[in-house]
């Protein structure tokens, strides 16, 4: 299933009916995906193949669409030390779909000594005469890829083998200089910025102090694309990266790490932000439910067009919030717990019927869906056994033992004294920053 958004970056104007004028000689076509998480639940007999099947679908789409290259936004692997089986299957899939007769029609103009300083091979894999690369993969590393103490992660091994092009590696912990890869095709010039995951609090402080720099490579004539793998949602004062930190010269930002897909590019005053989301659900949360996507990105000059493609091999996942009020069961009724449990059973049965209808039309999906009911109760509710509840759905859902969770409502406690939130935030921020600086000083020593 393909959805198309037509977007022009000039003056922030957007028109869905706008038709991008481009020629094959000057159009750069990119397949974008993030958070593949290869090897997730690999020991599970039910879910062990999920991440690999979806990654294969992503690669097959790239091959069918004859894209110029694939751009991954981090977390190719789920573990920083993936199993031998996971690495083998990853290498096998990349060779199967990316090593082909497809002719690479773009040039990489930037300095390989800078782009790939971390490797003995100072060039992209498609520039190596010993390799037959038809669809290059460019990727940054994410927090799950996680560079170890020797400065290497599993993606480094893929880079050394000539399977992917790892860019955006960095060594300094006090400052960060983000030098772009320069891609040219016909009259279109793309400046591809990106860096691997950094601890959010540290990166937040570096941005705040002006220690993150983006050398401009003729920003007016280049399409400036930035790939990032950090927290976008704010969880505390500094463990996220505000949109305002992103340089205004960017035309498009591709945001990895956040697993919830946002269907269309969003306009943020000076540039667009695309949040593809993960290709596989790694947690049974609301943000992971629903369709998963990869994206086709077409760039010509300073304009772009995006097409979201719904993946058809990922496992169906339904997430439902249930409150006692919504069940229609009187809270003072006899056998309340049994009636609520019966209601939940009926609700799961209803979801399974919906899944069955979907699976009849979409045959490539795994047969057993993921279902999560989040039941909101008060502290007086006597909880029934979650495991006993799940046993009713063994061989019918992929996650019977954690199909249902309870969330107990807390009684609100009135504030007895007024708190100046600005002063409190400033105090916490200062204390947190001082603590981080002391820790990093010890690490450097």
For 133-189, the pLDDT digits (tens) are 999 999 999 889 877 767 888 999 999 999 999 999 887 778 889 999 999 999 999
**Set 78, 118, 144, 229: catalytic member:** 144
pLDDT tier, 329 (very low <50, low <70, confident <90, very high otherwise): confident
pLDDT digits (tens, 9 = 90+) for 294-317: 999 999 999 999 999 999 999 999
With beta carbons less than 8 A apart as the criterion, state whether 190 and 299 touch: yes
pLDDT at 7 over 90: no
pLDDT tier, 17 (very low <50, low <70, confident <90, very high otherwise): very low
pLDDT digits (tens, 9 = 90+) for 272-282: 999 999 999 99
H or E element in which residue 21 lies: none
C-alpha distance from residue 205 to each of 245, 294, 439 (Å): 11, 32, 14
Q: Which are the contacts of 412, defined by CB distance < 8 A and separation ≥ 6?
A: none
pLDDT digits (tens, 9 = 90+) for 110-131: 988 998 988 899 899 999 999 9
pLDDT at position 2 = 53
Q: What is the pTM of this model?
A: 0.87
Q: Which residue has the tokens 């460019």?
A: 138
Q: How far apart are CA 440 and CA 168, in angstroms?
A: 22
Q: How far apart are CA 396 and CA 400, in angstroms?
A: 8
Question: Which range, 198-207, 319-328, 395-404, is most confident?
Answer: 395-404
Domains identified in the chain and CATH numbers: 2-310 (3.60.21.10), 317-408 (3.30.110.110)
Structure tokens at 266: 């969003």
Count CB atoms within 10 A of the CB of residue 1: 10
pLDDT at position 381 = 86
Which percentage of the chain shows pLDDT scores above 70?
A: 86
Q: How far apart are CA 118 and CA 164, in angstroms?
A: 14
With beta carbons less than 8 A apart as the criterion, state whether 126 and 138 touch: no
Which of 264, 275, 227, 282 is CA-nearest to residue 36? Answer: 282
- Please say if 144 is a catalytic residue: yes
Greater pLDDT, 258 or 13: 258
pLDDT at 419 over 60: no
pLDDT tier, 354 (very low <50, low <70, confident <90, very high otherwise): very high
Q: Which residue has the tokens 């930037």?
A: 110
pLDDT at 267 over 50: yes
pLDDT at 4 over 90: no
Q: How far apart are CA 312 and CA 363, in angstroms?
A: 8
With beta carbons less than 8 A apart as the criterion, state whether 314 and 54 touch: yes
DSSP 104: P
Q: How far apart are CA 148 and CA 168, in angstroms?
A: 16
pLDDT at position 233 = 86
Q: How far apart are CA 385 and CA 260, in angstroms?
A: 30
pLDDT at position 167 = 94
pLDDT digits (tens, 9 = 90+) for 38-68: 999 999 999 999 999 999 999 999 999 999 9
On the CB side of 205, how many CA atoms lie within 13 Å of its CA? 17
Angle at 88 between CA 87 and CA 89, to 5 degrees: 95
pLDDT digits (tens, 9 = 90+) for 184-217: 999 999 999 999 888 889 989 999 999 999 987 6
Q: What is the mean pLDDT of residues 418-430?
A: 62
DSSP 278: -
pLDDT at position 227 = 97
Which of 297, 351, 361, 353 is CA-nearest to residue 72? Answer: 297
pLDDT at position 432 = 57
With beta carbons less than 8 A apart as the criterion, state whether 347 and 393 touch: no
Phi-psi region of 46 (alpha: psi -120 to 50; beta: other; left: phi over 0): alpha
Q: How far apart are CA 110 and CA 115, in angstroms?
A: 7
C-alpha distance from residue 315 to each of 37, 50, 358 (Å): 14, 7, 11
Q: How far apart are CA 157 and CA 164, in angstroms?
A: 9
Count CB atoms within 10 A of the CB of residue 49: 16
Count CB atoms within 10 A of the CB of residue 146: 16
pLDDT at position 16 = 35
DSSP 36: -
**Helices (DSSP H) in 239-393: which residue ranges?**
324-327, 336-361, 386-391
Phi-psi region of 309 (alpha: psi -120 to 50; beta: other; left: phi over 0): beta
Q: What is the mean pLDDT of the chain?
A: 87
Q: Which residue has the tokens 């600086």?
A: 437
Count CB atoms within 10 A of the CB of residue 414: 4
pLDDT at position 146 = 76
Count CB atoms within 10 A of the CB of residue 10: 9
**Helices (DSSP H) in 318-444: which residue ranges?**
324-327, 336-361, 386-391, 421-444
Count CB atoms within 10 A of the CB of residue 242: 12
């Amino acid at each position: 299933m393909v959805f198309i958004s037509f977007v022009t970056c000039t003056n922030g104007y957007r028109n869905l009916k706008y038709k991008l004028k481009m020629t094959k000689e000057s159009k750069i076509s990119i397949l974008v995906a993030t958070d593949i998480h290869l090897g997730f639940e690999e020991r599970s007999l039910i879910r062990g193949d999920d991440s690999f099947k979806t990654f294969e679908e992503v690669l097959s789409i790239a091959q069918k669409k004859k894209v110029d290259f694939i751009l991954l936004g981090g977390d190719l692997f789920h573990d920083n030390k993936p199993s031998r089986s996971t690495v083998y299957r990853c290498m096998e899939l990349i060779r199967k779909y990316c090593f082909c007769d497809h002719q690479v029609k773009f040039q990489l103009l930037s300095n390989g000594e800078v782009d790939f300083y971390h490797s003995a091979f100072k060039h992209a894999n498609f520039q190596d005469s010993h390799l037959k690369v038809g669809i290059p993969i460019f990727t940054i590393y994410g927090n799950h890829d996680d560079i170890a103490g020797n400065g290497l992660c599993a993606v480094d091994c893929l880079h050394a083998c000539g399977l992917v092009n790892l860019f955006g590696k960095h060594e300094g912990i006090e400052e960060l200089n983000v030098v772009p890869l320069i891609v040219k095709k016909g009259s279109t010039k793309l400046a591809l910025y990106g860096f691997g995951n950094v601890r959010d609090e540290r990166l937040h402080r570096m941005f705040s102090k002006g220690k993150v720099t983006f050398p401009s490579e003729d920003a007016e004539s280049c399409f400036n694309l930035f790939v990032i793998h950090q927290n976008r949602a704010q969880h505390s004062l500094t463990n996220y990266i505000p949109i305002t930190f992103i340089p205004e010269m960017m035309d498009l930002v591709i945001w990895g790490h956040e697993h919830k897909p946002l269907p269309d590019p969003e306009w943020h005053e000076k540039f667009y932000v695309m949040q593809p989301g993960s290709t596989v659900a790694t947690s049974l949360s609301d943000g992971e439910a629903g369709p998963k996507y990869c994206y086709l990105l077409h760039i010509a000059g300073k304009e772009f067009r995006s097409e979201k493609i719904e993946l058809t091999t990922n496992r169906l996942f339904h997430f439902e919030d249930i409150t006692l009020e919504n069940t229609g069961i009187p809270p003072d009724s006899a056998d309340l717990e049994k009636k609520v449990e019966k209601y939940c059973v009926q609700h799961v049965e209803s979801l399974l019927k919906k899944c069955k209808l979907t699976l009849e039309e979409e045959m490539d999906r795994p047969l057993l869906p993921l279902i999560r009911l989040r039941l909101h109760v008060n502290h007086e509710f006597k909880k029934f056994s979650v495991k006993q509840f799940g046993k009713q759905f063994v061989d019918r859902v992929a996650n019977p033992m954690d199909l249902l969770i309870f969330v107990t409502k807390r009684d609100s406690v009135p504030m007895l004294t007024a708190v100046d939130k600005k002063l409190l935030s400033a105090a916490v921020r200062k204390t947190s920053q001082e603590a981080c600086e002391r820790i990093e000083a010890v690490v450097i020593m």
